Every structure is written in structure tokens, then in C-alpha cells.
């Protein structure tokens, strides 16, 4: 099972630094829910499609303002997608 975790770059946060931990927790939780949903519904899609599903599902689980600003590292998101695809091919 994949257990991704979101970490924010402190340099990009500005004056809301004290919200970093709770925001990371919320993003990580939304991403984990997305991983579980996409993994459960996996039906042979490509890594690119799984990656897009992960992003869309994660954003759907967030407040609109947070979702609008959520721009995960694409290489890391793709790595999670690759793991989902690989686990279903085994």
C-alpha cells in the first residue's frame, strides 16, 4: 500500500508558517484518500491517467481555496501513480 506524505517548502509559505503543519496534514489526508480511491478503482489505466486521477481526486477532497493552490511535485505524484500501477500488475 502506498502512504504518500505532503511536505511544504517553508520558503513558499510566507507569513502563515504556523499553519504549515495543519496544512500538510490536510493535504496528506486528502492525498491518502485519493490513493485509496484510485487504487480501489484501478482498471488498467496508464501511469499518466492514474497520476491525473490522483491529482483530481485529491483536489476534490480539499476546500476550493486550498485546492486552487495545491500544486504537488509532479515527479512525486507520478511515483505514487507508478506504484499503484505496478502493484496491480504483480
Say how many C-beta atoms besides its own lie within 10 A of residue 85's C-beta: 19
C-alpha cell at 42: 484501478
- Judged by average pLDDT, the poorest of 8-22, 46-60, 69-83 is 8-22
Residue-wise pLDDT for 38-63, tens only, equals 999 999 999 999 999 999 999 999 99
Q: Give the C-alpha separation, 42 to 66, whole Å.
A: 26
**pLDDT range class, residue 19, cuts 50, 70, 90:** confident
Domain edges within the chain: 43-90
Amino acid at each position: 500500500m502506498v502512504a504518500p506524505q505532503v511536505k511544504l517548502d517553508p520558503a513558499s509559505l510566507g507569513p502563515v508558517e504556523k499553519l504549515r503543519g495543519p496544512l500538510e496534514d490536510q493535504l496528506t489526508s486528502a492525498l491518502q484518500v485519493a490513493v485509496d480511491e484510485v487504487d480501489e478503482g484501478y482498471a488498467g489505466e496508464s501511469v499518466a491517467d492514474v497520476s491525473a486521477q490522483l491529482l483530481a481526486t485529491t483536489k476534490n477532497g480539499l476546500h476550493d481555496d486550498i485546492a486552487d493552490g495545491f500544486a504537488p511535485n509532479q515527479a512525486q505524484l507520478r511515483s505514487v501513480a507508478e506504484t499503484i500501477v505496478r502493484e496491480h500488475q504483480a
